[in-house]
Amino acid sequence: MPYFKIETNRKVPYRVQFTKSASYLLSELLNKPEKFVMISMHDEHEIRFGGSTEPAAYIQIKSIGLPDDCDEFMLLVTSFIEENLSIPRDRIYIECENLDCNRFAWNGQSFAKR
């Protein structure tokens, strides 16, 4: 159920390893089974941030049961992106969305029925 979308204007030459690490990170941070984590990686994406095309990233994280206060969680995700993609933290936006279990499904059934 956790979804982690990474858009960056950088080329990520080690995509498989990066997405594997991102999947593990999100699973650990949200205490959710990794078998439900979905990673979507879009590198070399056209991003202009602050009028510049310097390295930047836009991150979306969606899940059922996100904490009300995501500050620590977002700091850890920011550090992960900064360290693994060499993108300065002041050029990373993160959007988190707490999903309603009645409106999110897997295998043809909402998570409310699981």
Rounded CA separation 8/48 (Å): 10
Tens-digit pLDDT profile for residues 26-57: 999 999 999 999 999 999 999 999 999 999 99
Q: Is the pLDDT of residue 20 over 90?
A: yes
DSSP for residue 103: G
Tens-digit pLDDT profile for residues 85-110: 999 999 999 999 998 888 888 888 88
Helix (H) or strand (E) holding 28: helix 15-30
Q: What are phi and psi of 38, to 5 degrees?
A: -115, 130
Give the global pTM.
0.90
Domains, the chain, in order of start with CATH, read 3-113 (3.30.429.10)
CB 28 within 8 A of CB 87: no
